[in-house]
Amino acid sequence: MSDDTPKVLISEDQIQTRVLELAGQISADYKDADDLVMVGVLKGSFIFLADLSRRLSIPRTIEFIAVSSYGNGSLASGAVRLVMDVRGNLDGKHVLIVEDIVDTGHTLKYLIGMMKSHRPASVKTAALVRKAESAQVDVTIDYLGFDIGDEWVVGYGLDYAEQNRTLPYIGVIKPTDS
């Protein structure tokens, strides 16, 4: 019998503790802003966004955006395509982009530019995971969960070819295309 269960890299407990800490920081930083809009990047951020947003103690609304960068595998192309824009009006609002993972940084950089075109009051970024050694462009992550090495991770929203998104922890797999 083959065991292809992803190996635990960041446990469910570690994630929950960190998400609570980030929510505390965000709640403090935006305590005087009554118009925080959390913009989740589909699909990977859906679990992080759900947990993070429910732990805030400040008013917030939720939007989603969808981009496509990698096709169905793990090879970075650097090209980012907008698949779905936000529906709500971001004019004059405080936008917090919520990403699952920052690898080369191309996606987040593109998203920051996209959000700025909506004329918000501010744009900040949250990401659960960053591959510190993989950065190709300089992009600020205001609220970061964890730094990891250059490995492919799944779970807590992250997938490999749509598999393993709903694992409660972040695990490592070996992609078949690298």
Instruction: Classify each residue of 24-38 as buried b or exposed e, where b means 16 or more C-beta atoms within 10 Å of its C-beta.
Output: eebeebbeebeebbb
**Binding-residue pattern over the window 23 to 52 for ligand IMP, x denoting contact by CB under 6 A:** ---------------------x--------
- Of residues 33, 91, 101, 25, the one with CA closest to residue 56: 25
Helix (H) or strand (E) holding 46: helix 46-54
Of 103, 138, 147, 150, catalytic? 103
**Does 44 contact Mg ion by CB under 5 A?**
yes
Residue 129 bridge partners (DSSP): 101, 146
Rule CB under 6 A: is residue 70 a binding residue for ligand IMP?
Answer: yes
Span from 15-23, 27-35, 46-54, 104-112 in contact with ligand IMP (CB under 6 A) = 104-112
State yes or no: residue 99 binds ligand IMP (CB under 6 A): yes
Q: Which of 102, 111, 114, 167 binds ligand IMP (CB under 6 A)?
A: 102
- Environment class of residue 90 by beta-carbon count within 10 Å: exposed (0-12), middle (13-18) or buried (19+)? buried
Q: Is 56 in the site for ligand IMP (CB under 6 A)?
A: no
User: Residues with catalytic annotation?
Assistant: 103
